[in-house]
Amino acid sequence: MENSFNFSNENRNQTRRTGVLIIGAGIAGLAAAKTLLDNDYHDFIILEAQSKPGGRIQSLHLTESTILEIGAQWIHGTKNPLYTLGKKYHLISEKRSQEGAGIYLRNDRYQYDPKLIMEVDQEVMRILTDCEQFYRSSIPYPKSVGEYLQDRFEEYLSRCENDNEEIQKLKRQIFNWHVRFQVIDNSCQSLNDLSAKLWGSYSLSIEQDHINVCNGYESIIKVLCNMLPKNVLQLGTCVTAIKWNSNTVFIDCKNGQKYEADFVICTIPLGYLKRYHQKLFQPQLPKIMCDAIDKIGFWAINKIFLKFEQKWWGNVQGFQLTWNDFDVPKRQWYHDISGFDELPRCDLNILIGWIGGKGAKIIEDIPEEEVGICCVKLLKKFTGLNVPNPERVIRSKWLSNPYIYGAYCYHSVDCDEAQVSAETLSRPILNENNVAVMTFAGEACHKTNFSTTHGAYESGHNQANIALQKVLNNKNCSTGLTADNIL
């Protein structure tokens, strides 16, 4: 795939001058580049620390029709430019995916009644929908999504007067599955970390369709990279300093290369910024930006792919796992797995397991073979079937990636007190002359579509338009893009 990309590693010791410098060749950085090109602007460079573009989009091809999405899995909905781009280049699969499909099993092999599953599902969705009201109103809001969800579910159980004790117990077990599912879906360690106040900023805007990408998500990256002019994309170029407080931004790189730019679009993942922003930016960023980087949550979900010689699960689409004794004192990492789904659109026999919370970190430090053995024991325990050992085990390790450190962002309860959000990170950064010289882009910078790939794409597009205002104003001998004409 790399052979299709235009990039250069020449002239390392010379300072290069450019109009716009894009840091990061993930979907946001590449969307920014496309927007510049669409506006006939070619004076830009992209710096990417890793050896290939794509960021958190990573597709592993096992066969021509079996592709594992190690990173981003789906396009969410059809009403966004990423879907439009995929459609234009015939990259959209007609087959949609589901989450939480198949049968729900307990660790003693009990199988839940689908009607009970549906009843609890509808109640949980009703509660989470009600939680959206706090975003658009001034009424007092609960501390976290987790507390609100738990309290409201207990209220629901108290209204179910015809339930006997066993039914109530079953509903709580199904509810626990939903809690683990939401932890995974929101890439957090606990639902008590999620801001109830900001919950609706995401939930009101996202379509629920799970749209697959033909030939892997990386096929979209390939399309965008093939649009780039020669020598624009600089791979293996890690930025170590961004000196931003004058009319020219100066960039130092680990390999010794230096750059000067009129405007910088920084698409560095939030996980990396959390660790290094105080050293990376010279001088340090304005306090409101530092608060946003520090307070917006960023954790991980990981995937466990199990490839089997035979399809031992028959026509079952997946196994969702619940527990009799979930709150035991010595919980293990596998308690954070929500279940295993059948991998669609492939000619091999593969189950994909989803894990979040603390377990997402623990499995990164365990050998893949050991992860696979434990997952087989888990499946045997729940299904009662003679589950064979997998031929191959592949797991993602996003917290261990030294340029990313996680999966995607969420609005934490700490955002409420600091009064910051993803929207805060999207604001242009002004230099000492009150002129915009830099902006952030990426999934953590989109007001409503944060944590999604299309949100990252839209963010890159939007911030490139800000960059164009700045550089075109400069070209026309203007004083530049100021706070008065940008905000």
CATH assignment of the domain containing 270: 3.50.50.60
CA distance 37 to 228: 8
The total of other beta-carbon atoms located within 10 Å of residue 107's CB is 16
Q: Are 2 and 226 in contact (CB under 8 A)?
A: no
Q: Give the integer Cα–Cα distance in Å for 154 and 159.
A: 9
| pLDDT at position 483 | 46
> 3-state DSSP call for residue 97?
strand
Does residue 287 share a domain with residue 224? yes
Report the share of the chain in percent with pLDDT over 70.
92
pLDDT tier, 186 (very low <50, low <70, confident <90, very high otherwise)? very high
More confident residue, 482 or 63: 63
The string of DSSP letters for 323-392 reads -SSTT-SS--GGGGEEEEEEPPS-SSEEEEEEE-HHHHHHGGGS-HHHHHHHHHHHHHHHH-S-PPPPSE
Question: Is 228 inside any structural domain?
Answer: yes
303-312: burial string, b at 16+ Cβ within 10 Å, e else: bbbbbbeeee
Q: Does residue 219 share a domain with residue 276?
A: yes
Type and span of the H or E element at 287:
helix 287-295
Mean pLDDT of the residues in the chain = 92
The residue ranking higher by pLDDT, 208 or 409, is 409
Q: What confidence score (pLDDT) does residue 94 get?
A: 85
pLDDT at 347: 84
Q: Determine the average pLDDT of the residues in 227-238.
A: 97
**pLDDT for the residue 65:** 83
For the whole model, what pTM was predicted? 0.93
Cβ proximity of 66 and 350 under 8 Å: yes
Average pLDDT on 425-433 reads 96
Q: Which band of pLDDT confidence, cut at 50, 70 and 90, is reported for residue 209?
A: confident
The answer to whether residue 175 sits within a structural domain is yes
- Identify the pLDDT of residue 316: 95
If asked whether residues 187 and 126 sit together in one domain, one would say yes
Asked, for residue 85, whether it belongs to a domain, the answer is no
Query: For residue 205, how many other CB atoms are within 10 A of its CB?
Result: 18
Q: What is the pLDDT of residues 318-347, one digit of tens each?
A: 999 999 875 555 679 999 999 999 987 788
Last residue of a domain, one of 148, 180, 203: 203
* Position 366 in a domain: no
Q: What pLDDT is stored for residue 75 in this prediction? A: 93
Q: What is the pLDDT of residue 207?
A: 61
Residue 170's domain comprises 113-203
**Range with the poorest average pLDDT among 82-91, 169-178, 204-213, 472-481:** 472-481
| 388 found inside a domain | no
User: Is it the case that residue 474 has pLDDT exceeding 60?
Assistant: yes
Assess whether pLDDT exceeds 70 at residue 466: yes
- Confirm whether 92 is domain-assigned: no
Residues 243 and 286 in one domain: yes
Q: Which residues contact 53 (CB under 8 A, 6 or more apart)?
A: 5, 25, 26, 30, 221, 225, 233, 235
Question: Residue 116 pLDDT > 60, yes or no?
Answer: yes
3-state secondary structure of 449: coil
Q: Which residues contact 50 (CB under 8 A, 6 or more apart)?
A: 235, 236, 403
Whether residue 3 is predicted with pLDDT greater than 70 in this model: the reply is no
Distances (CA, A) of 220 to 80, 225, 306, 396: 14, 9, 26, 20
Shared domain for 225 and 272, answered yes or no, is yes
Q: What percent of the chain has pLDDT over 90?
A: 85
Same domain, 117 and 198: yes
- Decide if pLDDT at 479 tops 60: no
**DSSP 3-state helix, strand, coil percentages of the chain (rounded to 5)?**
40, 20, 40
For residue 313, with 0-12 CB atoms within 10 Å meaning exposed, 13-18 middle and 19 or more buried, which class applies?
A: buried
**Phi, psi values for residue 103, rounded to 5°:** -105, 150
* pLDDT at 475 exceeding the cut of 90: no
For the ranges 35-44, 210-219, 250-259, the lowest mean pLDDT is seen at: 210-219
Inform me whether the pLDDT recorded for 82 exceeds 60.
yes
Question: Is residue 354 situated within a structural domain?
Answer: no
pLDDT computed for residue 189 by the predictor: 97
Question: What pLDDT does residue 64 have?
Answer: 83
The predicted-structure confidence for 345-399, as pLDDT tens digits, reads as follows 788 999 999 999 999 999 999 999 999 999 999 999 999 999 999 999 999 999 9
Q: State how far the alpha carbon of 471 is from the alpha carbons of 15, 100, 229, in Å.
A: 19, 48, 19
Q: How confident is the model at residue 476 (pLDDT cuts 50, 70, 90)?
A: low
Q: In sequence order, which residues have a C-beta less than 8 Å from that of residue 211 and are 6 or more positions away?
A: 74, 75, 76, 77, 78, 83, 86, 92, 93, 96
172 and 39 in a common domain: no
Tens-digit pLDDT profile for residues 240-267: 999 999 999 999 999 999 999 999 999 9
Tell whether 197 and 218 lie within a shared domain.
no
Give the residue from 170, 203, 236 where a domain finishes.
Answer: 203
The string of pLDDT tens digits covering residues 153-163 is 999 999 999 99
Which residue type sits at 409? Answer: C
Number of residues written out for the chain: 487
* pLDDT tens-digit readout, 355-364: 999 999 999 9
- Measure the CA–CA gap between 448 and 423, rounded to whole angstroms: 8
**177 and 28 part of one domain:** no
For range 197-206, the mean pLDDT: 78
User: What pLDDT, on the 0 to 100 scale, is given for residue 288?
Assistant: 97
133 and 191 both lie in a single domain: yes
Q: Tell me the C-alpha distance between 21 and 379, whole Å.
A: 49
- Shared-domain flag, residues 417 and 290: yes
| Residue 361 included in any domain | no
- Residue 222 and residue 189 share a domain: no
Q: 96 pairs with which residues across the strands?
A: 211
Question: How many domains is the chain partitioned into structurally?
Answer: 2
pLDDT digits (tens, 9 = 90+) for 290-311: 999 999 999 999 999 999 999 9
Query: What's the confidence (pLDDT) of residue 2?
Result: 40
Mean pLDDT of 403-417: 98
What span, in angstroms and rounded, lies between the C-alpha atoms of 227 and 4?
A: 10
Last residue of a domain, one of 203, 227, 253: 203
User: What's the confidence (pLDDT) of residue 126?
Assistant: 97
Top-confidence residue, 135 or 204: 135
**50-81 b/e (C-beta count within 10 Å ≥ 16 → b):** bebbbbbbbbeebeeebbbbbbbbbbbbeebe
